Amino acid sequence: MLLRADTKVELIRGLPLFELCSKRDLRRIAALADERRLEPGTELIREGEPGTEFYVVVEGEIEVRRGTRRVARLGAGSFVGEIALLRDVPRTATVRVVADATFWTLDGGHFVDAVVGHSRSQSTADSLIASRGMAFSA
């Protein structure tokens, strides 16, 4: 499923991390995003490894695990990978595809530039990271 540029812009605008970006910034981010399709069982992120990309689930389903414990099951419109990129820490969880999934991916450097470049986006990111940390550690 190849996403049209305007569809990518709308998907990105719907993410809390990017909702305050200008239309111009959203178009730039959309142009930088690559699309990837993965099958069930594919490991998207491995806990403890360095973070290099940010992922948005366009369709399908993923499972987030810390160690052996499942902490979340996420679907379309969800995103993962932001904590390692924004905090410059190893990946905090393992993420596997559980149903055929389409993602768009954004290089870590472009992702950080887009979020850190806007103080309100940075504040939103900080709040999201704090809430995910609490949800994942419960």
pLDDT band at residue 11 under the 50/70/90 scheme: confident
Give the 3-state secondary structure of the chain. Answer: CCCCHHHHHHHHHCCCCCCCCCHHHHHHHHHHCEEEEECCCCEEECCCCCCCEEEEEEEEEEEEEECCEEEEEEECCCEECHHHHHHCCCCCCEEEEEEEEEEEEEEHHHHHHHHHCCHHHHHHHHHHHHHHHHHHHC
Token readout for 17 is 């991390």
Q: How many domains does the chain have?
A: 1
Task: Give the domain extent around 107.
Answer: 5-137
pLDDT in tens, 52-103: 999 999 999 999 999 999 999 999 999 999 989 988 899 999 999 999 999 9
Token readout for 9 is 């812009």
pTM value > 0.85: no
Report pLDDT for 107: 94
Report pLDDT for 18: 85
Q: What is the CATH classification number for the domain harbouring 34?
A: 2.60.120.10
Report pLDDT for 137: 39
